[in-house]
Structure 1
Amino acid sequence: MSDLFLHLYLDEDVHVLIADLIRARGFAATTTRDAALLTLADNDQLTYAASQGMTLVTHNRDDFEQLAEAFFAAGQPHAGIIIAVRRPPYEIARRLLVVLNDVPRDEMINQLRYI
């Protein structure tokens, strides 16, 4: 996978089927289960995703909006956060594919997007 495209990191609230659907389209997606980090706190999840250059996908709007602000205030970069409204996995995957096809990796740095 090219450095041009996002590598998604799905937190444990996001259905693992979504990662399979994304991978089937040729994009990179890792779940907290894949990374063996299921019980890590939200801050640690974002720190891990940032350290790996992965854009975090979550349903947890409240916590991750606050974390995005905290990272910004501390000057701590991350590879982006995508907050997905809870929908069926196929619909979330469809929306993520739009982002994956339209947003280059460097444009997601320190960004917070909603789908």
Structure 2
Amino acid sequence: MTIRLYLDEDSMDKALVQALRARGVDVLTALETGMVEREDQDHLDFATTQGRVVYSFNVGDFYRLHSIYLAEGKSHTGIVLARQQHYSVGEQMRRLLRLIASTRAGEMTNRVEFLSTWG
């Protein structure tokens, strides 16, 4: 199954969402799902119930949540993290597309990927 993305409120740039959708990527945003101003754990739990991989610029908090989930035996459907204002919209899109093209959704379970790896 192909990776489906969930962009939290930090990463949900309209141009990025449009670019990904134009290339056939299934994307939902925090705004579209009524999840704006929610806790990071709420975003991760929502994405997991929807079978989606979280994409966020909130590196520290989501990596910490990932570690807590693993320690508690909880599962999530994957997290992709990037440094905010480090990549153009085009570069984010290209790197996310590389990840999606080479990784199946099931392979993202309980996994954190850094956008920097996919350059």
Common topology (TM > 0.5): yes
Two-structure CA RMSD over aligned residues (Å): 0.9
Structure 1 residue 20, shift from structure 2 partner: 1.4
Give identity over the alignment, percent: 31
- State the distance in 2 between where 1:60 and 1:7 align: 19
Alignment of 1:15-94 (within 5 A): 15-86=13-84, 87-94=87-94
Alignment coverage as a number of residue pairs: 112
User: Which blocks of at least 5 consecutive residues in structure 2 are unaligned?
Assistant: none
Aligned residue type for 2:2:
F
Q: The residue matched to 1:76 in structure 2 has which SS?
A: coil
User: Which blocks of at least 5 consecutive residues in structure 1 are unaligned?
Assistant: none
Compute the TM-score of the two structures, normalised by the length of structure 1. 0.93
Aligned residue type for 2:30:
T
Compute the TM-score of the two structures, normalised by the length of structure 2. 0.90
- State the distance in 2 between where 1:8 and 1:16 align: 14
- State the distance in 1 between where 2:100 and 2:57 align: 18
Structure 1 residue 57, shift from structure 2 partner: 0.2
Q: What's 1:8 paired with?
A: 5
Aligned residue type for 2:101:
N
Structure 1 residue 41, shift from structure 2 partner: 0.6
Q: The residue matched to 2:6 in structure 1 has which SS?
A: strand
